[in-house]
Amino acid sequence: MPEKKDKKKKKVEKKTEKKKTEEKSTEETKEILPPLDFSSIILPFYTQALIKLGLTEDPISDTKSENLELVKRLIDLLDLLNKRTKGNLEPEEEKLLVSCTHQLKMAYMEKAKLINL
């Protein structure tokens, strides 16, 4: 009989350890929610454009690659956002949008060999 109790106790311990490991894993992979503000709309476009310009590594594949067509589309989307929100943004929001768009345009023109910096 003591052997059966030992086996049951070991099973319970294993299940407890497995559950703790799963909880740690879930906590480690839990995604961070971005703040609920205007920058949360701009920054994903900006970051994706930087990746596709080859200026930073893709965090998923850990490689650098270029896709200037996609970069142009992302810049166009930021320009569209700027036009559609004209007069409705706080000064710092407008400054962020204009600044990100300008930086991307300059980097795009340099990568596309339209200008030499």
pLDDT score at 79: 97
pLDDT in tens, 2-46: 555 566 666 666 666 666 666 655 556 678 887 789 999 999 999
pLDDT score at 56: 93
Query: Letter for the amino acid at 52?
Result: K
Domain ranges of the chain: 1-30, 39-111
pLDDT in tens, 41-54: 999 999 999 999 99
In the numeric block, the tokens 């961070």 are attached to 32
Surface-to-core class of residue 72, CB atoms within 10 Å of its CB (0-12 exposed, 13-18 middle, 19+ buried):
middle
